[in-house]
Amino acid sequence: MANTNFKVAILDDFEKIAETVPAYQKLKARADITILGERLDSSDKIVEQLRDFDALLLMRERTRFSDREYGQLPNLKFISQTGRTSRHLDLASATKRGIAISGTPSDSGTTVKELTVGLILALMRKIPQVNLRMREEIWPALTGIMLEGKTVGVLGLGRIGNEVARIMKAFNTRVLAWSRTLTPDKAAEVGAESVPLETLLKESDIVTVHVNFNAQTVGLIGKKEITSMKRGAYLINTGRGPIIDERAMLEALASGQLGGVGLDVYDIEPLPMDHPLRRFDNAVLMSHRGYATVEILSERYEQALTNILHYLDGKPPPLLNPDVQERRKR
C-alpha cells in the first residue's frame, strides 16, 4: 500500500516516459505520486500546485525554483533532478532551507551529436522544405548543397563537439575547431585543426556551437562574429540559446548573411508562437530535443525515481548540494 503521507509530484514529463520505467511502480507502491500535465510557468502556479508535496521530480531546466518558491512550499524536503544542470535551481537557498537536491549522471552526448548532424544535413539538403512541398506539388525541384568538401567549424571541442568533429571528418570535410583551452594536439585527435575564433568564422561553411554555457559564453556569437562569417554560411546551435545573439541572428537571416540556421535551443523556451524565427523557411527549428530520445529519457527517469526511493530508505543519493542538512526527520 502506498504511503500517502509522502507525496511526490512529477513535473514536465510531456513525453509521458516516467510512468513507463520500473522504478515508477516501485515508488508508486510506497508513495502518493501525482504527474502534473500543466507547465508551471509562474511562481504563483508553482506555489499553488506544489504546496502539499514532500518531493518533486524535475525534468532538467523546465521549471525554475528560487528562494521565493522554496519559502512557500512548507512540506518540500527533496528534489530529484534529471541530469546535473542546476541553473534553474537556487542551490544555496535550498541548502539553507534543508531541501536536498539530487541529480543523475550525464549521458554520453550521443543524442545531441546525432541531432546536430541531422540539422546540418536538413539545412544543406533542404529536407524540411522538400518534405512540405511534396504534400503540395508533384515533384519539388529544390536543389541542396553537398556537405562533402565543405569546411565545418566546431565551437567547443568537448564531450559533444569531439564527436561532431569526428563524424564531420567521415563526410570528407575540413574541420576547424576552437575553444579557449584547445590545443593543436587535442584537435588533431579527431582530425580537426585548432584555429583562432576569427579564422574559424571566416573560413567555415557551417558553424556548430558546442561550448559550455556560462557567463563567458553568453553572446559569444554576436553581430560582429556573424558579419565575419562567409555570406550564406549555416549556423547550428544545440547548446544553449543565449550563446548566440538572437537579434543579430535574425538580422543576418533576413539579409542573407546567414544561409540558414538549425536550432534546438532559444533565449525563451518554449519559443513563443509569434516569434519571428518561425517565419523563416531556412530555419530548421526543434523543441529542445537534443536529449529527448526514449532511451535517454527512460534512463534518466529510472535514475531520478531511484534517487527518491533511496531518500525514503535513508540512503544518501548523489546530491547537487551535499552540504544540506535535513530540515526534519521523516
* Residues tagged active-site: 240, 269, 288
Alpha carbons 106 and 94: distance in angstroms, whole number? 22
Alpha carbons 307 and 118: distance in angstroms, whole number? 34
Considering only CA atoms, which of 96, 86, 154 is closest in space to residue 120? Answer: 154
CA distances from 198 to 155, 230, 252 (A): 11, 12, 18
Supply 208's cell numbers: 556548430
Beta bridge partners of 151: 174
Alpha carbons 298 and 304: distance in angstroms, whole number? 10
φ, ψ of residue 144 in degrees (nearest 5): -100, -170
Give Cβ neighbours of residue 173 (< 8 Å, ≥ 6 apart).
Answer: 147, 148, 149, 150, 151, 152
Question: With the C-alpha atoms ordered 99, 105, 111, 113, is the resulting torsion angle positive or negative?
Answer: positive
Considering only CA atoms, which of 169, 152, 180, 158 is closest in space to residue 236? Answer: 152
